[in-house]
């Protein structure tokens, strides 16, 4: 079952899966709308049978300094990145308990290390990390594993999405050198392996693992590095046609 707002993209992925011998159902869904997930899960259950793995992946990043952001910006961030994850879990939890399945929550290295200009996004990812930790304990007696995926710099469209969740034509210049960015297929292989092994958490990318390690053991060094080298979050993409 593939869920997203852009059905055309889903249809392409579904066709690839079916050509490879799998079964796929592509459905339009917005995790910020009450009822969308419940309807989609009911359709998937009818068409495909039981659910064994659920991946709560919907998310985007609100960026910018605090003084330029509003409470609505923070609410919008949490509506997708936190409450969207909760809606996904509530809609699928009974199915996962029946199958003793796997719940996967997509976090971020930003859920361990926050940088200037990323407070809404970092707050949301710190929140889902706490959620994954708590649910890992709560759901263990039911046989449901919880895996938190914390990517570093991975190839994606997130830099093209503005603070209102709208996809723009062109992203701002990347602040990460190309050699640090992991390709999507490679990251997907790491994620699939972690899910199969029912890992508690996996950090994707070597630099991400290093950042998390340093934050856990020498947080003062991370704080010094962020301030000394002026580390900042990515910029918000401009509106199409704007400069």
Check 74, 90, 97, 125 and give the catalytic one.
125
211/203 Cα distance (integer angstroms): 10
Does the annotation mark 74 as catalytic? Answer: no
3-class secondary structure, 150: strand
- 161 secondary structure, DSSP code: B
Check 74, 90, 97, 121 and give the catalytic one.
121
Does the annotation mark 97 as catalytic? Answer: no
Q: Which residues contact 110 (CB under 8 A, 6 or more apart)?
A: 118, 121, 122, 125
**Residue whose token pair is 């409470």:** 71
**Residues paired with residue 102 on neighbouring β-strands, in sequence order:** 53, 145
3-class secondary structure, 90: helix
**Count of beta carbons in the 10 Å neighbourhood of residue 77:** 25
Q: Which residues contact 175 (CB under 8 A, 6 or more apart)?
A: 232, 234
128/21 Cα distance (integer angstroms): 34
Give catalytic residues, as residue numbers: 121, 125
């Amino acid at each position: 079952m593939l869920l997203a707002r852009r059905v055309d993209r889903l249809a392409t992925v579904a066709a690839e899966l079916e050509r490879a011998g799998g079964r796929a159902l592509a459905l339009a869904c917005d995790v910020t709308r009450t009822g969308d997930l419940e309807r989609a899960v009911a359709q998937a259950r009818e068409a495909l049978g039981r659910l064994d793995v659920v991946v709560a992946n919907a998310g985007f990043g609100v960026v910018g300094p605090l003084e330029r952001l509003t409470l609505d910006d923070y609410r919008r961030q949490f509506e997708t990145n936190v409450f969207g994850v909760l809606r996904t879990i509530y809609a699928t939890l009974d199915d996962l308990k029946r199958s003793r399945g796997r719940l996967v929550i997509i976090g971020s290295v930003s859920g361990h290390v926050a940088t200037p200009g990323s407070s809404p996004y970092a707050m949301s990812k710190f929140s889902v990390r706490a959620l994954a930790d708590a649910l890992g304990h709560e759901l263990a007696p039911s046989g449901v594993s919880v895996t938190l995926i914390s990517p570093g710099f991975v190839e994606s469209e997130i830099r093209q999405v503005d603070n209102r969740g709208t996809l723009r034509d062109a992203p701002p210049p990347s602040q990460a050198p190309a050699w640090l960015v992991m390709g999507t297929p490679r990251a997907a292989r790491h994620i699939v392996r972690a899910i199969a092994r029912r890992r508690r958490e996996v950090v994707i990318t070597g630099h991400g693992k290093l950042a998390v390690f340093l934050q856990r053991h020498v947080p003062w060094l991370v704080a010094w590095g962020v301030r000394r080298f002026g580390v900042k979050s990515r910029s918000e993409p401009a509106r199409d046609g704007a400069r």
